[in-house]
Amino acid sequence: MSDATYLTLEKLTLAYGKTAAVENLDLSIHRGELLALLGPSGCGKTTTMRSIAGLMPVRSGKIVLDGRDITRVSANKREIGLVFQSYALFPHLTVFENVAFGLRLQGMSGAALTEKVEAGLKTVGLSDFAARKTPDLSGGQQQRVALARSLVMQPKVLMLDEPLSNLDARLRLEMRTELQRVQKESGVTMIFVTHDQVEALALADRIVVMRNGAIEQIGTPEEIYNQPASSFVADFVGFENITAVKDGMLVGPAGEVKASGPLPQAAGLAWRPRSIPLGSGPYKGTVRGVSYAGSSREYVLETPLGPVKAEVDAALPAYALGTELAFDLPPEAAAPLQKMD
Amino acid sequence: MFQNRTEALALALPAAVFAAVVFLVPVALLLSEGFKTADGWTIQAYIDFFSMPLNQAVFLRTLKLGLTVTLAAAVIGYAAAYAIVTLPASSKGKMIGLVVLPLMISPVARTYAWIVILGRTGIINQALSAVGLTDGPVRILFTETAVFIGLLQLFLPLMIISLISALENLPRDAVPAARVLGANWFQVFWKVILPLSREGLIVGGTLVFTGSLTAYITPAILGGSKVLMLETLLYQQVTVANNFVSASIIALILIAMSFAANILLRRIASARSAK
Amino acid sequence: MTQKLYTWSILSLVLIFLIGPFFIIVAASFSAGDTLAFPPQGFSVKWILKVFTVESFQQSFVTSMILAIGGTLTALILGIPAAYAMSRYKLPGAEIVRFMVSMPIIVPGIIVGLALLRYFVIPLGISISLALFIAHTALVLPYAVRVVSASLNNLRSDMEEAAVLLGSSRAGAFFRVVLPNIRGGILAAFILGFVTSFNQVPVSLFLSGPGVRTLPIDMLGYMEIVFDPSIAALSSLLAFLSIGIVFAAERFLGFSRYV
């Protein structure tokens, strides 16, 4: 993977009517990387993707691809591919003709066309389906056709809108490896949009977490998972216990407690349920909920900070509802947060 | 959703301009004639129009026929629509096809058939004299009854289709449930079927009512000059009396009634989709 | 059992009322007698054959066909872009456009015909044929817009975006992707428009002149003078024509999906 910047968004502002969907967004994407735009619905990720494709006009700012300013270039001349969430296949055409659609527009025909389309179908494992009509295919097959249709155009950037959300659990796993394989084989720069952090973590080289039309954090999956920069990202990647830090106090949603020891320099701290030891520690809470999850038990404690979630090895003896318990919030096991809501 | 306004206008304007120029402008000009006199704008012509007994009678007859045809269509429509929705799926489709079929046939042809049936030597009169009920032929053609029958046959399919779609949305077991709870058929209709199919009734009713008001062929063929309705009166005013002021007034009455019914229909349709 | 009895007796009565008269004119058109009567006096096809020899019928049939086909095609040429603009674009004044193109369905046809006669034909010297053509186009326009809109709204717009991203122009995307997928809707709109226009009377009432009149108007005029079964014969023929077209459309297109 080269570190050279390939696609750059500079001070990008996008708006529907008067309401801004994305404001002053700066982002650099490297050649050949697999980037995820992650965020809840309405965060601006899809709008950003559509503006890169040229389907959404840019209010202000610049989009530069491979050294060329494409901000005002029309969508059909950008050399950017997009696999739609609905796949957007052409129902009146066969699988072959769907894949051949863009190539024909380039004036390709005859043996060269057939060769390219067949190669594209082979890449996605659909060689035997060329003559089928697309509505007869399963969701997974339709997505492969959409992928092949974009790939044969050899786009500079290939984007995918929620590529796994319409598939069932088994297919999702299969498609995940498939997408990674295709990306490595073709070396295409790939951007995909998702609201599912599991997908982003599993697939991407780099993740951009977006919120309210701005970037919240950029990092590798490991960085996002282990070192969330803000309470928003922490919450998004499964830190269920989040407190603010103020003058040596931990501040929870229900109230505050004095920290039992020195705290790191941070605006807040976040713990996953696994990082909370039960049975000993300086803090007290009452068990309000227990659920058994095979290898572990999950507890919800009522504490002066508010509810605290802890996950404990199931081999340990269980605590009954209503039990008063000691627990710890060890600072060394916490992720320090730079920004709190 | 594409954003380009110029493109959007370029696509939509030809149709809109066409409708405005060939449609809105001449109709507006026609309507203005009813208010225009040498002294300026007045509603005197309307006062004169409604003070003439003939015009009053035609107006009331049109309204009366519109309402009675709508009422009869509703009663028969409910009976037929309920019978159709209880059919098994395969025969239901065929039955709906048969009900819709007449809509595709020229109204001239459909109305013409009633001459054969209702005329002096028509089927009805033949049957009546064969049974010995009457001495001579009974006059049915060129009466309000004939117009009523013709209009009902013309517009009943619209009511039945509207009611079928309303009744199909009826909860599956609503009627049996009401029966089990001890309701008689009258109560079932009044308390269960009617409230749940109200929208279909209003949609169908509007279609039948406006259709009856603005029908021309049926009153012209089956009513003749004896049973004038607003449309036939308009035609007569123009062709016989050359009276464009009256024509303009009748036009406004017809448009106003159609609009009122149409707005009602839209209100109901949008209230339904908002739910 | 009582339910079944109820169902079939109601439906038989309603169908006799709705369709019975149609069978009567079909039977009357095979009469051998000289006046319209039922039951028919003997059997012959002379009235059916006569229809084809009446010169004014031939003329007005051609007029009606030209109006129905030409008017509907014109309405589609105007209506498809308008429907497309309303379904795919943020159209300024969309409500006004929608109102304008649906007007002809709300305003009674007789008024449209009279207004065109009085303000177009007489003062501007526009020919009756052109006025008829305009009136029939306007009359069919609301159906064209409505049916095409419905079929556009059922078609996902991301297909066009996909085509554009594959290198097609916006117009190219319309012709390559949208048009092939709304063909059924357009054909349905055409048939609906054709039948509406062909059977239309009130719009054409005032718009007739020497040699220019639609078939239904011609039939109305003929009926007033001659009381023979030829009108019954012509009515039957036209009815079978309409039913045949609609039946074929349903068979091959699933016409009722669009209406």
Q: What is the ipTM, given to two decimal places? A: 0.86
Residue A187 sits in the same domain as residue A298? no
Separation in Å, CA of C228 to nearest CA in chain B? 11
Task: Select from B49, B56, B69, B51 the least CA-distant residue to B144.
Answer: B69
A311 shares a domain with A166: no
Q: How many CB pairs under 8 A join A and C?
A: 63
So what's the pLDDT on residue B269?
63
Interface check B194 vs C, CB under 8 A: no
Contacts with C, B 119-178, CB within 8 Å: 119, 121-123, 153, 156-157, 160
**Which CATH fold topology does C47-257 show?**
MetI-like fold (1.10.3720)
Quick one: pLDDT at residue C1?
A: 54
- Whether A21 and A148 map to the same domain: the answer is yes
Domain borders along chain C are 1-44, 47-257
The alpha carbon dihedral of B142, B144, B147, B152 has a sign of: negative
pLDDT score of A71: 94
Q: And the tokens for C53?
A: 């020899």
Backbone angles phi and psi of C235, in degrees to 5: -55, -45
Residues in chain B within 8 Å Cβ distance of C3:
86
The CATH number given to whatever domain includes residue A36 is 3.40.50.300
User: For A33-44, what is each residue's pLDDT tens digit?
Assistant: 999 999 999 899
Contact A85, A77 (CB under 8 A): no
**pLDDT at residue A291, as a whole number:** 93
**C-alpha C53, offset from chain centre:** 25
Higher-scoring residue by pLDDT: A131, C246: A131
Average pLDDT over residues A237-262: 89
Contacts of A55 in chain C (CB under 8 A): 161, 164-165
Flag whether pLDDT at C90 surpasses 90.
no
Q: What is the mean pLDDT of residues B122-146?
A: 83
Query: Predicted confidence band at B272 (pLDDT cuts at 50, 70, 90)?
Result: low
Segment (H or E) for A22: strand A19-30
% of chain A residues with pLDDT over 90 = 76
The reported pLDDT for the residue numbered A224 is: 96
Asked if A90 lies within 8 A of C181 by C-beta distance, the reply is yes
| Beta pairing, strands A249-251 & A306-313 | unpaired
Cβ within 8 Å of residue A217, ≥6 positions away? A208, A209, A224, A228, A229, A230, A233
Nearest-by-Cβ selection for C24 from B9, B80, B116? B116
Find the chain C residues whose C-beta atoms sit closer than 8 A to any C-beta of A: 156, 158-159, 161-169, 172, 176-177, 180-181
State the pLDDT at residue C216.
92
Q: Left if phi > 0, otherwise alpha if psi is -120 to 50, otherwise beta: which for B52?
A: beta
Task: Provide the pLDDT confidence category of residue A2 given band limits of 50, 70 and 90.
Answer: very low
- For residue A11, count other CB atoms closer than 10 A to its CB: 11
- Bridge partners for A37 per DSSP: A193, A208
Backbone angles phi, psi at C34, to 5 degrees: -100, -10
Name the CA dihedral angle for C22, C28, C29, C30, rounded to a multiple of 10 degrees. 120
Q: Determine the average pLDDT of the residues in A94-103.
A: 96
Query: How far does the CA of residue A155 sit from the closest CA of chain C (Å)?
Result: 9
If pLDDT is split at 50, 70 and 90, which confidence band does A259 have?
Answer: confident
CB B105 within 8 A of CB C239: yes
Question: How many distinct structural domains can be found in chain A?
Answer: 2
For residues A97 and A175, membership in a common domain is answered with: yes
With an 8 Å Cβ cutoff, are C202 and B214 in contact? yes
Shared-domain flag, residues A198 and A289: no
- The number of angstroms, rounded, from the C-alpha of A171 to the middle of its chain's C-alpha atoms is 18
More confident of the two residues C227 and A64 = A64
Q: Would the pLDDT of B124 be above 60?
A: yes
The answer to whether the Cβ–Cβ distance between B105 and C115 falls below 8 Å is: no
| pLDDT tens by residue, A261-318 | 888 889 999 999 999 999 888 999 999 999 998 999 999 999 999 999 999 998 888 8
Alpha-carbon span A136 to A146, nearest angstrom: 14
Side by side, the strands of the sheet bearing A249-251 are A256-258, A249-251, A241-246, A268-271, A335-337
pLDDT tens, position by position, B35-75: 987 778 888 889 989 999 999 999 999 999 999 999 999 99
For residues A110-131, average pLDDT: 93
Beta-sheet pairing, A206-211 with A34-38:
parallel
> So what's the pLDDT on residue A137?
92
- For B58-274, the fitting CATH number among 1.10.30.50, 3.20.20.70, 1.10.3720.10, 3.90.1150.10 is 1.10.3720.10
Query: A156: distance to nearest CA of chain C, Å?
Result: 12
The percent of residues above 90 in pLDDT, for chain C, comes to 44
pLDDT at C130: 93
pLDDT-based confidence at residue B129 (cuts at 50, 70, 90): confident
pLDDT at position B186 over 90: no
When pLDDT is averaged across residues C238-247 and rounded to a whole number, the result is 84
User: Which residues, other chains included, contact A135 with Cβ-Cβ below 8 Å and sequence gap of 6+?
Assistant: A91
Same domain, A34 and A171: yes
- Chain C environment of B95 (Cβ under 8 Å): 11
A1 has a pLDDT exceeding 50 = no
Residues whose CB falls within 8 Å of the CB of residue B274, separated by 6 or more in sequence, listed in order: none
Note whether A240 and A191 are same-domain residues.
no
Distance from CA of B140 to the nearest CA of C (A): 16
Give me the percent of chain B exceeding a pLDDT of 90.
41
And the tokens for C203? 């719009």
In C218-247, the residues whose Cβ lies within 8 Å of chain B are 219-220, 223, 231-232, 235-236, 238-239, 242-243, 246
Are A272 and A143 members of one domain?
no
CATH number (domain holding residue A324): 2.40.50.140
- The answer to whether C18 faces chain B, any CB pair under 8 Å, is yes
Q: Say if the Cβ atoms of C158 and A149 lie within 8 Å.
A: no
- pLDDT band of residue A149 (cuts 50, 70, 90) is very high
Nearest CA in chain B to C141: B15
Same domain, A325 and A241: yes
> Looking at A175, A210, A231, which one is the last position of a domain?
A231
The CA distance from B180 to B185, in Å, is 11
Least CB-CB distance to C165: which of A81, A90, A92?
A: A81
Per-chain mean pLDDT for chain A:
92
Which of A231, A255, A290 is a domain's end point?
A: A231
Of A278, A81, A290, nearest to A189 by C-alpha is A81
Flag the least confident range among B67-71, B228-232, C95-99.
C95-99
Give pLDDT, residue B275.
43
Q: Are residues A170 and A31 in the same domain?
A: yes
pLDDT score, position B41? 85
Which candidate, A4, A55, A50, places its Cα nearest to that of A31?
A: A4
Average pLDDT over residues C11-17: 94
Chain C residue numbers touching A82 (CB-CB < 8 A)? 161-162, 165
- Among residues A182, A205, A231, the one where a domain terminates is A231
| B262 touches C at CB < 8 Å | yes
User: How far lies B3's CA from each of B8, C81, C97, C154, in Å?
Assistant: 8, 16, 17, 20
User: Quick check: A207 pLDDT over 70?
Assistant: yes
Give this prediction's pTM.
0.84
Give every strand in the sheet of A206-211, ordered side by side. Answer: A80-83, A157-161, A189-194, A34-38, A206-211, A214-219
Residue A297: partners with Cβ closer than 8 Å, 6 or more residues away = A290, A291, A311, A312, A313, A314, A316, A318
Claim to verify: residue A200 and residue A90 sit in the same structural domain = yes
Q: Provide the 10 A C-beta neighbour count for residue B127.
A: 11
Q: Give the rounded distance of the alpha carbon of B127 from its chain centre.
A: 30
Of the listed ranges A134-148, A263-277, B111-125, C63-77, the one predicted with least confidence = B111-125
Asked whether residue B1 carries a pLDDT value surpassing 60, the answer given is no
The verdict on A114 and A43 lying in the same domain is yes
Range of the domain at A158: 5-231
Instruction: Give the pLDDT of residue A102.
Output: 95
CB contact under 8 A, A82 and C161: yes
Per-residue pLDDT at C22? 87
Subunit contact B216:C110, Cβ cutoff 8 A: yes
- Residue-level pLDDT at B140: 86
pLDDT digits (tens, 9 = 90+) for A10-66: 999 998 878 889 999 999 999 999 999 999 998 999 999 999 999 998 999 999 999
pLDDT tens-digit readout, C174-221? 999 999 999 988 998 998 899 899 988 999 999 988 888 999 999 988
Query: How many CA atoms are closer than 13 Å to the CA of B261, on its beta-carbon side?
Result: 27
